[in-house]
């Protein structure tokens, strides 16, 4: 006799598939106040801002740039900066606070404007 082509298979229990959970909206983080969004800056961000102030201050003071002078020549100012960069760096090492203040006079207002313009795009 040949083997039975349909041997009895054990009965398999099939469990019903659970219904998918209803989608939940993720909890939104608490919103920050306007001043916190505008001027909120980390310690690393404040160090980078200070470094940028000092760097810009070196160039402003090294070029002896005077915007009230009617004979302002940007080409000559750039050439002057290039020729006195090493002297400005040596001077900056001796007088750290002066380029920081001069750079801050330029960088801080630009930074505030940037924060105002980019405010709608920050959470």
- What does pTM read for this prediction? 0.37
Map out the domains of the chain as residue ranges.
Answer: 34-121
55 contacts: CB under 8 Å, gap ≥ 6: 103
Residue 111 or 86, more confident: 111
Q: Is the pLDDT of residue 106 over 70?
A: yes
pLDDT greater than 80 at residue 47: yes
What the block records as the tokens of 106 is 């330029």
């Amino acid at each position: 006799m040949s083997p039975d082509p349909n041997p009895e298979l054990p009965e398999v229990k099939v469990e019903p598939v659970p219904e998918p959970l209803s989608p939940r909206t993720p909890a939104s983080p608490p919103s920050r106040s306007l001043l916190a969004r505008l001027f909120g800056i980390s310690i690393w961000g404040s160090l980078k801002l200070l470094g940028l102030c000092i760097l810009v201050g070196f160039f402003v003071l090294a070029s002896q740039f005077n915007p009230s002078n009617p004979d302002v020549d940007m080409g000559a100012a750039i050439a002057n900066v290039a020729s006195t960069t090493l002297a400005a760096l040596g001077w900056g090492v001796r007088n750290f606070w002066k380029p920081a203040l001069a750079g801050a006079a330029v960088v801080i207002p630009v930074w505030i404007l940037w924060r105002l313009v980019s405010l709608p795009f920050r959470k």
